[in-house]
Each structure stands twice: as structure tokens, then as C-alpha cells.
Amino acid sequence: MVSPNRFTKALARRAKVSWRERPTRYDIEALQANIARVGLVIHVRWALVAVLSVFTLLGLWVYGAEVPWPELAPNIRVPALAVVFVCLYNAYYHLTYRRLGNIAFLNHAQLLFDVIVVTVLVYYSGGVHSWFYAMYALFVLEAAFILPRPRDAWIVAGFSALAYGAVVWGEYLGVISHVEVPFTFGELERNRTFVAVRYLWQVTMLGGIAMVATLMTSELRTREAQLAEASIVDEKTGLYDRKYFLRSLSSEVLRAERDSRPFAVLMLDIDNLARFNSVFGIARGDKMIHSVADTLATALEDCCSAGSYETNVLSRFGGEEFAVLLVEGIAGGPPGPADASAVGEVLRRAVESLRLEDASVTLSVGVASYPENGPTLDTILSAADEALHDASTGGGNRVSIAGIVL
């Protein structure tokens, strides 16, 4: 039997886009992208409400020229309330989506509300005669855009088909009464062949739109991932580039503020690269930078706990300079200053053991820790850069911690 506590946690995991108690920076970035998509859909919904309002006013003006207002009022009253309901829940989402954007079922709920509102509009605009059925297609496209799984678009398409079918088949079977609309003739809502063909056409369209939407969005998200990977990798070394390092550091600062979780930044600089280039040439200097990058990557993976290689970020910061965002230390937990210094020493010794063109290579390392050396991205980077300067001017081939040279 599942305990209430475990059951509650399972529900929470299912409910959230990112449910880990300590989400990584990748979770945070995915969540931010999801929130941005939800915000876009909210703005699109405001535009649709505006368009529907203009259409309603123009339609009333055109109809009013030939049909008395008392005959139009029954068709307008409930749809008007439905539009007010749309405005209310969209206003709620607009005010809260940045704070509640990780609650997955709220993203589903807004689309299901949309489907219900359009079904009301379909019913009060003639059922099988209504033109509003085309709006179901918009919600399938929205589902493919903002919901995380491809099957979600099919769920919205299926729900739309069921809602539309409840109206047209309900009217045909006499379960619900038909709402008469001016200028619709022939009692087609009672013709089984017409209702069946119209319904099958709607189901076919919804299925086709769901298929196209999921294929297109899957392709777009795959392409986005490929472009993102291409744009964050340094061509010369294969490490992450400066831009990705700064983005990762920014996300880690936010996570550290929330969870009171320490981390460290290591700045590393190859000593006397200019002298190496003057003796052996720039091409061999580039080869040496690549060899140092490989050595650092291997040493960082070996010295830290299992799985931390994907958590810690090693990047080429520029020229002969490298940077490490250290989230997991040698002991496997959040690194304190001593643990970060130990990692820096491991990296320094690994590079010192290299031999290139019968020449030795050494490394200066500067270490700064959160929160000891500052609460922001800029203060941490400045502290690490000052520590690196101390290590370099002190003779190189050493580790310096925020003003303390070892």
C-alpha cells in the first residue's frame, strides 16, 4: 500500500513541469522556456478575444438590420458570459503564469477551458450549422506549442472532438435542444447523414492538424536543440564557450539563492603562452590549448563524484583562459572553499604533467566561492579573476583562493 506521503509526492511530480527538489540549471532553463511559451499563448488569447468581440459587434450590426433584437438576444446572452469567463481566467493566468508556470496541469487546464468555451459558442450559434468549430484547430496548435509532450496535442484534439460531438450528436438524438439561428434552414441538425459527414470531417481535420502540429513542433524543437548545442561549444577545444558558462553561472546563482547551496568558480590561465607561441609557433600553441582542454576535462571528471561531470561546467573562457563552474566537489556534495581549492590543485597538477614539444605546461588557478566571495555573478567572477591575477603574478603554477595564495 502506497503511503500518503509517497502518494502526495508522486502527484506533485506528475503536476509539475520540473519537479525535482533541487532542480539543475537545465531544469531552470527548460522551465523559463516553458513560461515564455505560456506567456505567448496568453497574449494570443487576448488577441483572439479582441477579434471575437469585433466580429460579434459587426455580426450584430449586420443581423440587426433584418432580425429584431429580441430574436437575437437568446443567441448572444450565454456566449457573452462565456467570453467574460475567458477574460477572467486569462487575466488570472496573465497575472500568475510567471510564478505558476511550472504547474503542468494549469497549462492543460487553460486549453481545456478554451475548448469548453468554444463548444458553448458552437452550441449557441447553431450547433452543426456553426462556423466556430474551426477554432478547435487553434487549440490543437497551441497544445503542440506549449505542452511538453507530443501526445498532449492529440489529447486536446480528442477532447475537442468529444465536445463537438456532444453538441451535434446530442442535438440529433434530442438529448439537448437545438438553438435556432437566423438564416439557417432545412433542419440539417436532424439529418443523420449530414451530421455524420460533418462530424467525421471535423474529426479528420482535428487529427490531421494534430499530426502536422506534432511533426512540425518536434522538428522545430530538435532543430532548436541542435542550434543551441552548436552555439555553446568552442570550436577549437570542444568545451563549452564563454557565453554558455555565463548563462550557466547566472542560473546557478538563482538556484543557490533559493536553496542556500554553495558553489565555486575556478578561473584557469595557461602560464607563458605567448613565450610558447614565439618559440614553437601559433599553430602549435593552438594544439597545446586543445591538449590542455582535454586534460582538464579528463581530470575534472576523474576527481569529482560520479555524475558530476554533467553538473560541473568546464568552458574555454577566452584565449588561453578556462573557467570551471563547480557545483559538485570531490566529496560529492556542494563544494566549500577547501574542496574547490583541492579541485583546482588536481587540475593544476594534471596540466603540469603534460609535455608538449619537449616543453612543460603550467597553469595558474584562481578560486572564488559562493557565498563567501560575493552574492552575485559579477562579484564571484571578479573575486575569481583577482585570485587568478594573484596566482599569475606570484610566479604561476599555483592556486589562489580569493586573496589567499597557497
* 222 and 247 housed in the same domain: no
Domain end point (choices 197, 231, 265): 231
Burial label, 230 (beta-carbon count in 10 A; 0-12, 13-18, 19+): exposed
Which residue did the predictor score with more confidence, 371 or 57? 371
* 262 and 128 housed in the same domain: no
Number of domains the chain is built from: 2
Reported as a single tens digit per residue, the pLDDT across 160-169 is 999 999 999 9
Strand order in the sheet with 404-405: 313-318, 321-326, 263-270, 363-370, 399-401, 404-405
For the beta carbon of residue 357, count every other beta carbon within 10 angstroms. 13
Question: Which whole-number Å values give the CA distances from 261 to 11, 218, 306, 323, 376, in the listed order?
Answer: 26, 35, 19, 20, 14
* 118 and 29 housed in the same domain: yes
In a domain, 120, yes or no: yes
Under the banding of pLDDT at 50, 70 and 90, the label for residue 348 is: very high
Which residue did the predictor score with more confidence, 305 or 73? 73
Length of the chain: 406
345-349-353 Cα angle (round to 5):
175
The pTM (predicted TM-score) of the whole model is 0.52
- DSSP assignment of 92-154 equals HHHHHHHHHTTBHHHHHHHHHHHHHHHHHHHHHTTGGG-SGGGHHHHHHHHHHHHSSSHHHHH
Which residue did the predictor score with more confidence, 279 or 309? 279
In a domain, 13, yes or no: no
* 255 and 113 housed in the same domain: no
In a domain, 30, yes or no: yes
* 204 and 253 housed in the same domain: no
In a domain, 391, yes or no: yes
* 125 and 94 housed in the same domain: yes
For residue 331, what is the domain's CATH number?
Answer: 3.30.70.270
Q: Which helix (H) or strand (E) holds 324?
A: strand 321-326
In a domain, 104, yes or no: yes
Yes or no: say if 205 and 137 are a contact pair by the CB < 8 Å rule: yes
* 291 and 186 housed in the same domain: no
Partners of 360 in beta bridges = 355
Question: Which whole-number Å values give the CA distances from 25 to 20, 75, 144, 228, 329, in the listed order?
Answer: 11, 51, 24, 15, 17
Measured distance CA(343)–CA(27) in Å, rounded: 26
* 212 and 292 housed in the same domain: no
Measured distance CA(17)–CA(104) in Å, rounded: 5
* 54 and 192 housed in the same domain: yes
In a domain, 7, yes or no: no
β pairing state of 399-401 and 313-318? unpaired
Reported as a single tens digit per residue, the pLDDT across 45-91 is 888 788 778 877 777 787 777 777 777 777 777 788 888 888 888 88
Domain end point (choices 231, 254, 282): 231
* 165 and 208 housed in the same domain: yes
Measured distance CA(381)–CA(150) in Å, rounded: 41
* 38 and 110 housed in the same domain: yes
pLDDT over 50 at 37, yes or no: yes
User: What is the structure's pLDDT at 93?
Assistant: 82
Domain end point (choices 192, 208, 231): 231
In a domain, 139, yes or no: yes
Boundaries of domain holding 343: 242-405
Yes or no: say if 300 and 324 are a contact pair by the CB < 8 Å rule: yes
In a domain, 163, yes or no: yes
The answer to which of 7-16, 84-93, 134-143, 327-336 has the lowest mean pLDDT is: 7-16
* 35 and 180 housed in the same domain: yes
Read off the pLDDT of each residue in 252-268 and give the average, rounded to a whole number.
Answer: 88
DSSP state of 305: P
For the beta carbon of residue 298, count every other beta carbon within 10 angstroms. 12
Yes or no: say if 267 and 344 are a contact pair by the CB < 8 Å rule: no
